[in-house]
Structure 1
Amino acid sequence: MKVEDVMTRHLVCVKEGDPIRNAIERMLRYRISGLPVLNDDGRLVGILTEGDLLRRTETETERKRPRWLEFLLGPDRLAKEYQHTHGRRVGEVMTAQPVTVTPDKPLDDVVHLMEKHRINRVPVVKDDQLVGIVSRANLLLALDAVLRDVPPGATGDDDIRRQLWHAMKEASWLPRGAIDVLVRNGVVFLNGVLMSEEEIKALSVIAENIPGVKEVRNRVVWCEPMSGMVFQSTETSQDTA
């Protein structure tokens, strides 16, 4: 799935010369937490988010530091913060030079950027023009659409067991030959020994994702490597749909 498949195309934007009050009104009206900022030529120059407006002198939330720390930070840093907490125009408060992505990039690239830069949205740019934006909400909508598109169920117990074995082979963390699988009327019974409770829980997830599975009964136990002691998992004897 690519960026262009999930991005929002109809955008609410502001100009860098707009008063911040206009930007706040748009955020509240459209129930969004961030706005792309354009210059007079319509090119993306920044992004204004709720985070940019958290520390403001009007709400008495600007940073207050001891004099010695201000001395260490230097005048440039303090001047920049002053613009951010006292600025009246969007361009004075926005985050300049935002991280962007092109429409043809895979969604994995967007998620990587969000995690790396700790951001909630990424503007989409093509030929130096803003064409969309991808937010975490867009990713959730894409996930919801995929989950709704449920594949047809397996034709029978043998088919379920065959698909489950294939999925287990694809799991690099799962030891080969450690698990016995029995399927009866769509109910999967799992028995065996693994090395951790997390492996047992993940095994249940594998089984739950096989089309046609009605129930998973995971009776796998786990063995503590150092002591050799065997423990019952919290998954054991629990039926998961």
Structure 2
Amino acid sequence: MLASEIMTREVKTIGPEATIDEAIAMLLSTRVSGMPVVDAGGRLVGVVSEGDFLHRAEIGAARRKPRWIEFLLGPGDIAESYVLSHGRKVCEVMTRDVATVEESAPLTEIVEIMEKRRVKRLPVVSGEHLVGIITRADLLRALSAAFAAKPAPTPAECTDKAILDRLMAELKAQGFASPRTLDVAVDHGVVTLKGEIFDERQRQALVVAAENIGGVTKVVDQLVWIEPFSGMTIGKIE
């Protein structure tokens, strides 16, 4: 899945010369937490968000570092903080170092950037021009569509043998549990998991793997956890 397939194309934007109160009014009226800043030519120049207004002087939240730290950092850092807390225009408080993606970016790249940069939205650009935006809500809509598009299993896929074969193939491919320590049985769509695990987290992963096989109606967990250091046998932890 690519950025062009999930992005929102009609993007609410604001100009860099807009005032702070205009930006706040737009964020409140559109019920978004941030928006791209574009110039008159449609070029992306920054992003302004709720976080840019947390430390404003008007509400007594301007941030100052201890004097000795300001002395070490120099006047530039003090000046920068002053602009963020007292600036009157969007261009004075917006984030300029904006992470972006092209329309051809795959979903894996989009999620990776969002996690790495800790951002809730990614502008989509063509060259320097904004063409869309991807938010976490867009990712949720893509996930919902993927669930809805998942085809129902065929009768041949619902046989006990087919279910068992697909489950064992999945376990082999993922590698979080060795099939040699497991005893998996399928009876009329009911999967019974028996055997030994050496990390309690394996239990949930095995159950999830079984639940995701088409044709499975129920998963019975009879796995036994063996604590690897002491060799103590422990049943399911509720």
TM bin, normalised by shorter chain, reads: over 0.9
TM-score, normalised via structure 1 length = 0.93
Tell me the residue number matched to 1:147: 147
One-letter amino acid of the structure 2 residue matched with residue 7 of structure 1: M
Contact 1:151–1:211 at 8 Å: present in 2 too? no
- SS of residue paired to 2:101: coil
- TM-score normalised according to structure 2 size: 0.94
Match in the other structure for 1:228: 231
Which consecutive segments of 4 or more residues in structure 1 shift more than 3 A? none
Distance 1:201 1:97 in 2: 40
Quote the Cα distance in structure 2 between the aligned partners of 1:92 and 1:172.
Answer: 51
Give ranges in structure 1 of 5+ residues lacking alignment. Answer: 236-241
The answer for the alignment partner of 1:213 in structure 2 is 216
Q: Deviations over 1:89-120 (max 9, x none)?
A: 00001001311110101111111111111111
- Superposed displacement of residue 65, structure 1: 2.8
Give the 5 Å matches for 1:124-203. Answer: 124-153=124-153, 154-203=157-206
Q: In structure 1, the residue corresponding to 2:170 is in which secondary structure?
A: helix
Secondary structure of 1:219 counterpart: strand
Q: Distance in 2 between matches of 1:106 and 1:41?
A: 27
Give % identity.
43
**Contact 1:37–1:44 under 8 Å retained in 2:** yes
The aligned counterpart of 1:60 is 60
Q: CA RMSD for the aligned pairs? A: 1.3
Aligned residue pair count: 235
Report if aligned partners of 1:57, 1:85 keep a CA contact under 8 Å in 2: yes
- Distance of 2:160 and 2:59 partners within structure 1: 63
Where does residue 91 of structure 2 map in the other structure?
91
- Matched-pair contact (CA < 8 Å) for 1:187–1:215: yes
